[in-house]
Amino acid sequence: MQTLDINHSELPDLQFVLMVVALCTADIPTLNVPEDVRRTVFDRCWALLHDTPPPTEPSQRTLDLRQGDDVTLDALVEVIRSTLNERGYAQMTWDHEPSEPTQATSPDARPLIDRLQHWDPVNPPPVDGPHDPGQN
């Protein structure tokens, strides 16, 4: 069983937002957060980034955070935490193995993908992979 503490995730804010939004938009039946709360989290995050209504098509329910700044990121974290806390969720829990990728991953994204596949916020793998002190 995987868990994510909403108020003390030990993740950088960007990873926290990406993880929660991914969980809220994924079709994971074992996630402890009901569909209506997941939808509310996504819709509120969407509203911080767009002037248009959120998409209803599941494949289009993604957030592009590349144009945001630190203020936007702080607001997203606050919206996620307040929405889940006010509905009584201090943790998100799920039982689901990582899925195979649906698209090719760029070499720059590979370290992040590798870290997320070995999800353990308390003991994460090294950022740059194992290091052999004899190599430069």
Domain positions in the chain: 2-101
The predicted model gives 92-103 an average pLDDT of: 76
Q: Give the model's confidence band at 136: pLDDT under 50 very low, under 70 low, under 90 confident, else very high.
A: very low
d(CA 66, CA 68): 6
Can you read off the two tokens belonging to residue 114? 């590798």
Mean pLDDT for the stretch of residues 69-79: 95
d(Cα 136, Cα 30) in Å, to the nearest integer?
Answer: 44
State which H helix or E strand residue 25 sits in. Answer: helix 13-25
Maximum Cα interatomic distance, the chain, rounded to a whole number of Å = 55
pTM of the model: 0.72
| 117 pLDDT above the threshold of 80 | no
**Residues contacting residue 70 through CB under 8 Å, at least 6 positions apart:** none
Which of 22-26, 82-86, 124-128 is least confident? 124-128
Q: Which of 8-22, 39-53, 57-71 has the lowest mean pLDDT?
A: 57-71
Grade residue 79 by pLDDT with cuts at 50, 70 and 90: very high
